């Protein structure tokens, strides 16, 4: 996946600030943090890890982009999916046993221990499938199933809004095929 092709502030951007976070950045953070976490959570299945990814994503944006850049939300959404998929692949490089231990199961949702085990295996497989899918397909699924609109997905992935439905169906088909 390619992040929106935006370099740093560039020659016309203002300089760097140190120490203080601008009100504009705080507003962006408050507006987008939940959705950035949600996108990463769809990929990783782990809230703590998703929040770590979200913090890294906001730091990356803070370092090199003005808070009031019009592409801010789209950049953050794309970066959340990208960073989470990178984290997932890093996790996959570790042993399957370690990965299983790193994936807590929502035990409260299922009482039967056998269901807990089954749910855990399913979630492992889901993450493995996401890691195998093409980057854009996996990112698209994470964004859509975390609640982003077609227009927001189009902005994040730099595709036409009218193409999102088709791309999403293809990604879902690929996801189903891989999960069988």
Give the interface with other proteins as residue ranges (CB under 8 A): 4-19, 21-22, 24-26, 29-30, 33-34, 37-38, 41-42, 45, 47, 50-51, 54-55, 58-59, 62-71, 74, 106, 109, 122-123, 126, 141-142, 145, 154-155, 158-162, 172, 175-176, 179
Q: How far is the CB of 153 from other proteins (least distance, A)?
A: 10
Closest to other proteins by CB, 42 vs 136, is: 42
Q: How far is the CB of 119 from other proteins (least distance, A)?
A: 10
Per the document, the length of the chain is: 180
Find all residues with CB under 8 Å of 145, minimum gap 6, and list them: 42
Closest to other proteins by CB, 94 vs 161, is: 161
CA distances to 52, 126, 138, 149 from 132, rounded to whole Å, are: 22, 10, 8, 24
Closest to other proteins by CB, 89 vs 159, is: 159
Closest to other proteins by CB, 95 vs 162, is: 162
Q: How far is the CB of 180 from other proteins (least distance, A)?
A: 8
Q: How far is the CB of 113 from other proteins (least distance, A)?
A: 19
Closest to other proteins by CB, 7 vs 113, is: 7
Q: How far is the CB of 50 from other proteins (least distance, A)?
A: 6
| Secondary structure class of 63 (helix, strand, coil) | helix
65-76 exposure pattern, b = at least 16 Cβ within 10 A, e = fewer? bbbebeebbbbb
> Is there a contact between 4 and 113 (Cβ–Cβ < 8 Å)?
no
Query: What whole-number distance in Å separates Cα of residue 133 and Cα of residue 138?
Result: 6
Query: What whole-number distance in Å separates Cα of residue 63 and Cα of residue 59?
Result: 6
């Amino acid at each position: 996946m390619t992040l929106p092709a935006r370099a740093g502030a560039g020659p016309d951007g203002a300089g760097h600030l140190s120490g203080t976070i601008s009100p504009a950045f705080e507003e962006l953070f408050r507006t987008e943090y939940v959705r950035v976490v949600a996108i990463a959570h769809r990929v990783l299945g782990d809230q703590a890890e998703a929040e770590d990814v979200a913090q890294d994503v906001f730091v990356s944006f803070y370092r090199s982009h003005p808070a009031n850049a019009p592409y801010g939300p789209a950049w953050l959404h794309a970066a959340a999916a990208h960073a989470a998929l990178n984290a997932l692949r890093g996790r996959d490089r570790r042993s399957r046993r370690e990965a299983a231990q790193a994936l807590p199961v929502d035990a409260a949702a299922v009482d039967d221990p056998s269901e807990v085990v089954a749910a855990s295996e399913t979630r492992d497989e889901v993450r493995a499938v996401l890691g195998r899918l093409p980057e854009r397909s996996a990112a698209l699924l994470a964004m859509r199933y975390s609640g982003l609109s077609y227009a927001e997905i189009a902005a994040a992935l730099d595709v036409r809004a009218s193409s999102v439905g088709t791309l999403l169906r293809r990604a879902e088909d690929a996801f189903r095929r891989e999960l069988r």
